[in-house]
Structures are given as structure tokens and as C-alpha cells.
Structure 1
Amino acid sequence: MPTASVKLAVIIVSYCNVDDVDRCLKSLGRSDWDHFEVFICENGGEAAYGKLLTALVGADRTLQRASDGASALDRPHKRLASVTKCRFQNSAIVVRLGLATENLGYGGGVNAWLEPLLGVLGWDSVLVLNPDTEVERRSLSELIAKSAEGFGMVGGSLVFDSAPDKIINYGLHWSRTTGRVIAIGRNAPVGSAPSSDDLARIDAISGACVLATRSFVEDVGLMAEDYFLYMEDLDWGRRRGKYRIGFASKALIRHVGGTTIGSAVAPEKRSHLSIYLSARNSILFARRFAGWRWICHFGVGLLFAARYVLKGSLSAGRIALAGLLDGAKGKTGRPDVAPRPH
């Protein structure tokens, strides 16, 4: 096991989902590993940030405000307009809540904290964690122990919140032939671990819960921001170079999934934003990593767009086609499509 000198920075990106963040924080507060700090980036604007503070900070809340603010991380910087330093109730563990200057997307929200963290000492690994997750008591220590074995990117047993006996994935594999993303180990029983062949196929750990060592971040770089949402975890993994991917089977993480933009439903009922970004970013990613094969990936994407139409959702098919075309044009960043269900 690693020594207590190994400090972990936990980064959570929020978008108007206070209840999710509170539940996630409470699970972190029960962890058997207490040598960590939490950094939250609220992407939803000032009103959302105010609601987050009201819900989380107070005598009868999860957090209490901290009076000291000596660190540079306690002050606004670059893409964080406001920072509130707190601690867990009856605990010395620090939680910083930051207000993003605008909606930075997932990668941008992670980097809003990760970039200034690279300028300070005192942490050895970063855990990027979705707000709609809960970590079991031993998860942090198990993830850190696995990274100590020489792995730069580490994942755990990500399980369905509604079916915690089943694995969502061990990690993600990207098909260079079709461009589809494959969840390795999906529906495997909890407690299982990937075979050596499965582990070799994993290109990245899901961004819902991924631990990266400081050396990984310093060498590989920050998360890609131009996707806005989706594929930034695969991009990070594909750029990993010499760093190996490890899997901590005893690190259990429950994940609801899709609570922010409506992706945790049947494909034909997903939100327009989820459909658009999935289609667009699959092509952006292919253009970056597949060379000329991105044209084949575009063809596969057309088949998926047609499937929406065949299932009776013409609007979803149109949104998917718009995403594919924008990906082919190289359009990046925050999309214009409204995140509304159909």
C-alpha cells in the first residue's frame, strides 16, 4: 500500500446538478483514504454556483466554510471567477468550489483546476470524477495502490447505480475500423477483472472515474477541450505514450450516468445535445487519430443516424446528421444545439 504522503487531487465538474455533487461528496467523506483535496468546477453560471454553495455549505450541510486562504488555489484565477474554500464537517479535508467564467465543457472544467494544480506542489495523482458517482469506502486507496505498481492511468469497477452487481466497463476501446467506442467488460459481474487480452485492448479509462499520476499529466498534457463533452477521456488515453493502464478491481464506483444532458436512456430517447455531440465528436476524434479512415467512420455514423429515423425519431436522425457534418467540417467547442429532450 502507498504511504499517507501520497496526496490525491479529486476534480469534479458540475453543471446545475447539486444533488449529484452532494451525494458524491458524502461518499468521498466516508473514504478510508483521507489524504486528498477536492476541487469542484461549476459550469452552470452564477445562479447555479449560488445554489451549490447554499446546498453544500452550512452548519447542517456537508461542508463548512474555511476561514484560511493562504494558498494560490484559494483565489480566483484564469478561468475560475470565484473560489470558495471549505472543509468537510468535522474534518480537515479541503473542498474548493470554483465558478467557471463560462460553460467550459467537461475537459475545460477539469483543466480549469488541473492547470493551476500543475503550478503547485503537494499532490501526486489526480482523480477525475463525475458528479453522479459514489465511491465505496476503499476505492481511493485501491486506486492509489494500483498506480503505485507503475501505472499512469488507473480505473476501477465502475458499476451501474441501478444494478451494482454489474460492471459498466473496465475501460474503453476505440475501433480504428468502424470508429465505434466499445465498453470492455460491459455487464461482467462485479469483482471480476479484465483478462490480459482485454486489458491490452483498453485505450483509455472512462472519464467518469479515472486516476492519472502527476507524471502522466505533466508528460501527456491536459485533457482535450475542443470536444466539449464526450471523447476527451479516449483522447487522453490515446495520447498516453509510455504510460500503462491499470485496473483496480476492488475500487467500486457506482455511476448513475447521463444526469446532466440526458444520455442515460434508450438511444432514441436521448437528448438532442447528447446525440449531436456523440456524432460530431466521433468524427473529430477519427480525423485526429484515424487518418483517411475517418471517411469510413462517417459512413458508419450515417447508418446510426438512419437507425434513429427507422425507430420513428426523424428529429434525432437530423441532429445526428448535423453532428456528423459539423465533425467533417472540423467544428469544435460548445455546440449551438439546445440540450432538450425530444
Structure 2
Amino acid sequence: MSSKLAVVTVTYSPGEYLDQFLSSLSTATTETPQVIMADNGSTDGSPEAAAAAYPNARLFRTGANLGYGGAVNRAVAEVDDSIEFVVVANPDVRWHPGSLDGLLAAAQRWPRAGALGPLIREPDGSRYPSARSVPDLTSGAGHALLGKIWPNNPWTARYRQDNEAVTERTVGWLSGSCLLLRRAAFDSVNGFDSRYFMYMEDVDLGDRLGSAGWLNVYVPEVEVTHSKGHAAGRHPELMLPAHHTSAYRFQADRHPHVWQAPLRWALRAGLAARSKVVVASALRARHIDDREQR
């Protein structure tokens, strides 16, 4: 096993994606990292099959559905303290050849990098905006309210850094779907905030790393493909409210004062209303898709 690199992925009935994740990992690095599958309660048998098929993959049962950040924290605690880097990635990531070695090389160029992330491709080959600025109330609200109906609005563009050159650079935060984390940095901020069950835990981590003096570095010369959104697509009535709850928590934590209470109340009410609208829309779309497939 590698003495400097470990890989953590969180599984929840990941199906065929997990085998793709593990098989492509062998071409991503010359290292042979231990892979810890933090399982939040899979019922499809894929983590057990993967543990049997891949000698470097270990199944670690969390004992409950802890959410993404909580499961990652539990798995990272299982990694030997001497290992310098931990990769955290979704099980539906497909590694491109040399991608992890590319991130490790970038980590040497950026000794203060606490987190490094690749360019993430959608399954159709398009680029996902995985390197973004930390949202403030203005950009966050503008993106949330107008992102769907006016995709090129200035608040979304600023938040997603759409007008930034696709070059290696520091950013506010990186997508948690694929991160190379320096263990010392991750431990210095006590890992992910496990209060975030799903969504925004990566935004929070990037913000706290930056506040602690570490850098979040985007490395677009390195690429992976992420089949994102399949869980949200299956269960919008669960995933979308979780997203809005996390968005509220992120801003409420950063506006904690008594005099800011009216702001928090307005934020909570606005996000709750938006959640109901987008869930209803997603369920209608799913119903139409199901009807067309019959």
C-alpha cells in the first residue's frame, strides 16, 4: 500500500459506478493507495463485491447514514496518521489516466495547498464549474433566485467564476466530489462539519481552510469525469430540501449575532419557500419522465 496516499469514498448503494471508480483508479496513479469505502447503509451489495474484487479496497461500515461529511470524517480517522494525502471522491467519479499523480505533483508546487481539485467533466464532456468563490448573501441569493431562469446573471457568474480563465489558481472552494486533501490541513480544521448531511459541506470546508491560512487550488490540467446528480434525481423530495437546509446553515453560521436574527429569519423563510417550489417542479418532471418511459 502507498505510504503517502489513501482514498476515501462514501457509498450508499452506488451500483455499477463503484466498480468503474475502482478500476479506473488503477490508471490514475502509480501509487497503490488503500481505498476505504465508508458505507452509509448500502443494500445493493456493490460495496461487498468491490471489497472482494479489489485487494486494496476496504469496506468500513459507518453503522448509520451519517451523510457525506460525517462518513468521510469517520473514514479519514481510520487512515494512518503518517499518510500525507487523502483523496475524498464520490463513487461515481471515473478517473482519467494519471489524474491523481497530476494532483500530487500540484501539491508539491503548492506547499500551502490544503485542498486541490481537478477539472471535472460531465458525462457529455462539458466542464462542470467545480472551482468557485465563497458565496456571500448577495451572490448566494442572486444565484439561487435567478440561476435557473437567467443563467448568465452577474451573481451566478461571479459565484461560479464563469469569467475566470481555466488556469491553475487559488479559489474560494472546490467541489467535494473529487478532492486531494493534505491531511495536516484537514485535521487542522477538524475535517468536514458533520452538521451538513449533504451539500455545502465542501463550501464550508473550503471557506474554513482559507480562514485557517491554507489554500484551495484548482488544477484544470488534471481531469476526471463525474456522473453527478443520480441520487438527487432519484429522490428530489429528500435531496433538494437537504440542499436548502445546508445553504441556510452556511449563511447562518456566518451571521450569528443577535442583531442579525431578522436576517436569519428571512433567509430561513425564503429558502423554505424556494425548496417547496423546486421540489414540486422536480417531482412533476420525474412524473413526466416516468410516464414517457412506460
In the alignment, which residue of structure 2 is the partner of 1:56? Answer: 50
**Any conservation in 2 of the 1:168–1:187 contact (CA below 8 Å)?**
no
Question: Residue type of the partner of 1:239?
Answer: R
* Alignment pair present for 1:154 and 2:116: yes
In the alignment, which residue of structure 1 is the partner of 2:244? Answer: 279
* Alignment pair present for 1:301 and 2:263: no
In the superposition, relative to structure 1, how do residues 107 and 296 fare at CA in structure 2: closer, same or farther (>3 Å)?
A: same
Secondary structure class of the residue paired with 2:219:
strand
* Alignment pair present for 1:193 and 2:167: yes
Query: Aligned-pair distance for 1:122?
Result: 3.3
In the superposition, relative to structure 1, how do residues 282 and 165 fare at CA in structure 2: closer, same or farther (>3 Å)?
A: closer
**Any conservation in 2 of the 1:160–1:168 contact (CA below 8 Å)?**
no
In the superposition, relative to structure 1, how do residues 144 and 44 fare at CA in structure 2: closer, same or farther (>3 Å)?
A: same
Tell me the distance in 1 between the aligned counterparts of 2:2 and 2:93: 26
TM-score by length of 1: 0.67
Larger % of helix: which? 2
Query: Aligned-pair distance for 1:37?
Result: 1.8
1:164 to 104, 121, 125: 125
In the superposition, relative to structure 1, how do residues 171 and 97 fare at CA in structure 2: closer, same or farther (>3 Å)?
A: farther
In the alignment, which residue of structure 2 is the partner of 1:173? Answer: 134
In the superposition, relative to structure 1, how do residues 57 and 115 fare at CA in structure 2: closer, same or farther (>3 Å)?
A: closer
In the alignment, which residue of structure 1 is the partner of 2:195? Answer: 226
* Alignment pair present for 1:31 and 2:35: no
Query: Aligned-pair distance for 1:294?
Result: 3.1
Tell me the distance in 2 between the aligned counterparts of 1:21 and 1:187: 34
1:236-278 Cα shifts (integer Å, max 9, x gaps): 1121110011111121010111222427xxxxxx610112101
Tell me the distance in 2 between the aligned counterparts of 1:121 and 1:19: 31
Query: Aligned-pair distance for 1:14?
Result: 0.5
* Alignment pair present for 1:210 and 2:179: yes
Secondary structure class of the residue paired with 2:19:
helix
* Alignment pair present for 1:13 and 2:13: no
Tell me the distance in 1 between the aligned counterparts of 2:179 and 2:161: 16
Tell me the distance in 2 between the aligned counterparts of 1:309 and 1:37: 39
Tell me the distance in 2 between the aligned counterparts of 1:6 and 1:34: 9
Query: Aligned-pair distance for 1:206?
Result: 0.9
Identity of aligned residues (%): 23
Question: Residue type of the partner of 1:184?
Answer: R
Tell me the distance in 2 between the aligned counterparts of 1:30 and 1:6: 18
**Any conservation in 2 of the 1:17–1:260 contact (CA below 8 Å)?**
no
Q: How does 1:225-304 map to 2 (within 5 A)?
A: 225-240=194-209, 241-262=212-233, 271-291=236-256, 292=260, 293-298=263-268, 300-301=270-271, 304=274
Tell me the distance in 2 between the aligned counterparts of 1:281 and 1:174: 13
In the alignment, which residue of structure 1 is the partner of 2:88? Answer: 128
Question: Residue type of the partner of 2:225?
Answer: R
Question: Residue type of the partner of 2:193?
Answer: A
In the alignment, which residue of structure 1 is the partner of 2:40? Answer: 43
Tell me the distance in 1 between the aligned counterparts of 2:2 and 2:33: 10
For structure 1, the 5+ residue unaligned runs are 64-86, 88-93, 264-269, 317-342
Query: Aligned-pair distance for 1:57?
Result: 5.0
Query: Aligned-pair distance for 1:165?
Result: 3.9
2:100 to 140, 160, 163: 140
Question: Residue type of the partner of 1:208?
Answer: S
Tell me the distance in 2 between the aligned counterparts of 1:128 and 1:259: 18
Question: Residue type of the partner of 2:19?
Answer: D
In the alignment, which residue of structure 1 is the partner of 2:151? Answer: none
In the superposition, relative to structure 1, how do residues 99 and 312 fare at CA in structure 2: closer, same or farther (>3 Å)?
A: closer
In the alignment, which residue of structure 2 is the partner of 1:100? Answer: 62
Secondary structure class of the residue paired with 2:78:
helix
Query: Aligned-pair distance for 1:209?
Result: 0.6
Tell me the distance in 2 between the aligned counterparts of 1:104 and 1:115: 15
Would you say how many aligned residue pairs link Structure 1 and Structure 2?
261
Secondary structure class of the residue paired with 2:203:
helix
In the alignment, which residue of structure 2 is the partner of 1:77? Answer: none
In the superposition, relative to structure 1, how do residues 203 and 294 fare at CA in structure 2: closer, same or farther (>3 Å)?
A: farther
In the alignment, which residue of structure 2 is the partner of 1:327? Answer: none
Query: Aligned-pair distance for 1:156?
Result: 0.8
TM-score by length of 2: 0.77
Query: Aligned-pair distance for 1:116?
Result: 2.9
